[in-house]
């Protein structure tokens, strides 16, 4: 209840501020309002976005669940704030998640509180082509995770991302961009973070997490940051390509999926610690409405199994490989047809489960990614067997 009243007060305050300041650019999809102080000492853009999802699934090979399961869900509901403070060189981003999926995951390490805060980060452009970030935000991981959930080609991200991504964390990041010759662009991103995910309040349980990413753009930068948005909505006039790699080392990690997953508790109530390493290699290509995105992920650990004091197993790290390949073509009517293949192969030592998914999708973009209707159909097999089907329909609205 307190949060609801706080948000109502905040909205009335923002509306009052908007009337008192210079209001600019209120076109649909550009934010509910944009304000700039009269002395140009600060700015703020406030926006909301919602995703309404319907899912139907059928596990035809399971005699205990031969009926179609239907689910309706508010998949995401968020408030977003961004702008600059004091100087355009000092930017900020603040994002709240209000859906159950966004705020779930509270534990003793978050003081059993809902995890409302997604991003709370300040970005300082302290020198040409250099930025220093501080706060909680996405780590520079695989491209599919860093792309906003509102700018996806399919209804949601692939199983590669759900099993291997490194998501958000609190810490600092250093980012640099360099240009070689007329077009070749190189971007480097380095992060040092707490290593236990977002909204953790009870100290650092293990060691720190270190992430490094390099991005190569041989044909120059994409139009309107299109390398961080799925689908070629800008219809690139010349071929654009990004080749990237990320390496992440979580020192003395205490969770089963680096900074995500379950905590590795053992019988004496303490947390088992082990080094976890994650590698991502990905690519993005766009040209005249055609887009391709490919990803490979690998995760290993110094100790795969968390061991109790008597040597018995208490849990394990999710180690293995994953591949995601997807492509789409945007028709002149702004209808996109797309296809995706995703695979997860877990190591034999933790069960050797192999999951394959084949997905076809269609997206109708009414106002780009800001107002779109998406649908996809997935066929899934596990260890080569099965006849599992998943159908999804989703409406995205971004003010």
Full DSSP string of 302-317: S-SEEE-TTS-EEEE-
d(CA 5, CA 158): 36
d(CA 389, CA 140): 32
Domain ranges of the chain: 42-398
Residue 45 and residue 82 in contact, taking contact as beta carbons nearer than 8 Å? yes
Provide CB contacts within 8 A for 112, sequence distance 6+: 106
> How high is the pLDDT of residue 11?
54
Architecture in CATH for domain 42-398: Beta Barrel (2.40)
C-alpha 371 chain-centroid distance: 19
User: Residue holding tokens 């591949």?
Assistant: 323
Q: For 68, which DSSP code?
A: P
Provide CB contacts within 8 A for 8, sequence distance 6+: none
d(CA 97, CA 270): 31
How do the pLDDT tens digits run along the chain, 399 residues long? Answer: 455 554 554 555 455 444 545 555 578 888 888 889 989 999 999 999 999 999 999 886 665 656 789 999 999 999 999 999 999 999 999 999 999 999 998 899 999 999 999 999 999 999 999 999 999 999 999 999 999 999 999 999 999 999 999 999 999 999 999 999 999 999 999 999 999 999 999 878 889 999 999 999 999 999 999 999 999 999 999 999 999 999 999 999 999 999 999 999 999 999 999 999 999 999 999 999 999 999 999 999 999 999 999 999 999 999 999 999 999 999 999 999 999 999 999 998 888 899 999 999 999 999 999 999 999 999 999 998 878 999 999 999 999
How far are the Cα atoms of 7, 11, 82, 322, 327 from residue 389, in angstroms, in the given order? Answer: 40, 42, 40, 20, 21
Token pair listed for 220: 């120059």
C-alpha 331 chain-centroid distance: 27
Residue 164 and residue 299 in contact, taking contact as beta carbons nearer than 8 Å? yes
CA dihedral 93, 367, 78, 70 (to 10 degrees): -150
Residue 295 and residue 327 in contact, taking contact as beta carbons nearer than 8 Å? no
> How high is the pLDDT of residue 9?
46
Which pTM value belongs to this model?
0.91
> How high is the pLDDT of residue 204?
85
DSSP string, 69-110: EEEEEEEEEEEEEEEEESEEEEEEEEEEE-SHHHH----GGG
pLDDT digits (tens, 9 = 90+) for 123-176: 999 999 999 999 999 999 999 999 999 999 999 999 999 999 999 999 999 999
Burial 14-27 (b: 16+ CB within 10 A, else e): beeebeebeeeeee
* Triad 79, 85, 86: Cα angle to 5°: 165
Among 158, 152, 221, which residue's Cα sits nearest to residue 368?
152
C-alpha 83 chain-centroid distance: 21
């Amino acid at each position: 209840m307190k949060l609801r009243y706080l948000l109502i007060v905040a909205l009335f305050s923002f509306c009052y501020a908007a009337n008192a300041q210079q209001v600019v650019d209120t076109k649909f999809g550009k934010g509910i309002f944009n304000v700039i102080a009269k002395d140009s000492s600060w700015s703020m853009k406030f926006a909301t976005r919602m995703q309404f999802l319907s899912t139907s699934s059928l596990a035809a090979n399971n005699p205990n669940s031969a009926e179609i399961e239907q689910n309706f869900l508010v998949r995401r509901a968020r408030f977003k704030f961004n702008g600059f403070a004091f100087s355009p060189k000092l930017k900020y981003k603040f994002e709240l998640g209000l859906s159950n999926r966004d705020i779930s995951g509270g534990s003793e390490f978050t003081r059993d509180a809902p995890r409302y805060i997604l991003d709370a980060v300040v970005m300082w452009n302290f020198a040409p082509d250099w930025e220093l970030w501080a706060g909680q935000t996405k780590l520079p991981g695989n491209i599919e995770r860093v792309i906003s959930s509102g700018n996806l080609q399919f209804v949601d991200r692939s199983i590669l991302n759900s099993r291997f991504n490194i998501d958000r964390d609190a810490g600092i990041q250093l980012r640099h961009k360099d240009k070689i010759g007329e077009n070749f662009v190189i971007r480097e991103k380095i992060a040092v973070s707490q290593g236990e995910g977002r909204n953790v309040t009870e100290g650092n349980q293990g060691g720190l997490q270190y992430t490094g990413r390099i991005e190569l753009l041989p044909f120059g930068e994409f139009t309107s940051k299109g390398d961080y948005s799925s689908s070629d909505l800008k219809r690139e006039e010349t071929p654009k390509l990004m080749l990237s790699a990320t390496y992440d080392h979580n020192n003395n990690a205490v969770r089963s999926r680096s900074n995500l997953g379950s905590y590795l508790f053992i019988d004496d109530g303490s947390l088992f610690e082990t080094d976890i390493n994650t590698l991502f290699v990905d690519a993005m290509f766009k040209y005249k409405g055609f887009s391709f995105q490919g990803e490979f992920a690998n995760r290993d650990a110094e100790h795969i199994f968390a061991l109790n004091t008597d040597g018995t197993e208490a849990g394990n790290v999710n180690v293995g490989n994953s591949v995601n390949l997807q492509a789409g073509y945007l028709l002149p009517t702004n209808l996109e047809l797309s296809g995706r293949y995703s695979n997860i192969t877990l190591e034999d030592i933790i069960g050797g489960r192999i999951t394959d998914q084949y997905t076809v999708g269609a997206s109708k973009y009414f106002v780009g990614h800001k107002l779109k209707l998406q649908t996809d159909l997935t066929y899934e097999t596990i260890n080569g067997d099965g006849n599992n089907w998943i159908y999804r329909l989703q409406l995205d609205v971004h003010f």
